Amino acid sequence: MAKRMPLIAGNWKMNNNHLEAIALVQKLAFALNDKDYDNAEVVVLPPFTDIRSVQTLVDGDKLRIGFGAQDISAHDKGAYTGEISGAMLAKLECSYVLVGHSERREYHNEDDALVNAKVKAAYKNGIVPILCVGEGLEVRKAGAQVEHVLAQLDGALKEITAEQAEKIVVAYEPVWAIGTGEVATPEDAQEVCAAIRARLAELYSPEVADAVRVLYGGSVKGDNAPGIMAKADVDGALVGGACLKADEFAKVIRFRE
Ligand code: PEP
């Protein structure tokens, strides 16, 4: 069995201007030590307008903090007003990009076909997609969460090769837990994360399934992170609200302590 390096990724959403971005990354770097970076890979996902500032800081100070974007255009270039291409993100040295976050699916009508096109755009530009999947409250109440999430996974991975798939990060984020303070139980998280891994084994191979990091996201904080991360198929967290405070985010990163 592969030993997967946990990934703790902070989704800043639409918060922090470029000066605030620098201050937050500096505070985070100050709060973390070598042991923390050995415990987990640390990534921040700022708004597009902050990426250049974060890149300059990370590069200049040789920080062990990775960074990426919250969205990517499905198109390569051209007349797509307001869009940001994968090539632009790659030029800024983004390592990761969120694809299919529930807020994009809900407020920007992103469907599985568009999510699939965005996953392809990320790979085309050497950027690792953090593919977000998750069910709403109605689906959860009906007990159909696994079925729902696996359909999203299948849709996002259409025509994605095994070689590409083994690099993907999948974030299971139940929509009812995002920004609500209502965190899934470790057992809820494990159920769906294990099902995602089993599907990856079916679609590709046990080796691919074993290599992929499956994260949990939804109201993760310093005090609930250890219980969730203790589960066998949970390889880290996608953190929203709690990543805006350097000390709280650092606490999540230190989930083993
Ligand atoms: C998210 O936006 O991906 C998220 C998990 O948010 P929060 O941690 O605030 O629930």
Q: How confident is the model at residue 149 (pLDDT cuts 50, 70, 90)?
A: very high
CATH number for the domain whose boundaries are 7-253? 3.20.20.70
DSSP symbol at 221 = -
Consult the annotation and say whether 176 binds a ligand.
no
How many CA atoms are closer than 13 Å to the CA of 101, on its beta-carbon side? 22
**Alpha-helix runs per DSSP H in the chain:** 18-31, 34-39, 48-60, 86-91, 102-107, 112-124, 137-141, 145-156, 162-165, 186-203, 206-211, 225-229, 246-253
What ranges do the domains of the chain cover?
A: 7-253
173 is catalytic: yes
Q: Return the minimum-mean-pLDDT range out of 1-15, 100-114, 221-235.
A: 1-15
**9-18 pLDDT, tens digit each:** 999 999 999 9
Residue 241 has pLDDT above 70, yes or no: yes
Question: Tokens representing 68?
Answer: 């990426």
pLDDT single digits (tens) 96-130? 999 999 999 999 999 999 999 999 999 999 999 99
pLDDT band at 3 (very low <50, low <70, confident <90, very high): confident
The closest-lying atom of ligand 1 relative to the alpha carbon of residue 219 is 10
How many Å lie between the centroid of ligand 1 and the Cα of residue 13? 9
What pLDDT does residue 257 have? Answer: 87
> Ligand 1: does its nearest atom lie under 6 Å from the Cβ of 68?
no
Looking at this predicted complex, what is its ipTM? Answer: 0.97
Over residues 214-227, the mean pLDDT reads: 97
Mean per-residue pLDDT over the chain, rounded = 97
Vertex 164 angle, CA 36 and 87, to 5°: 80
Q: Which residues make beta-bridge pairs with 81?
A: none
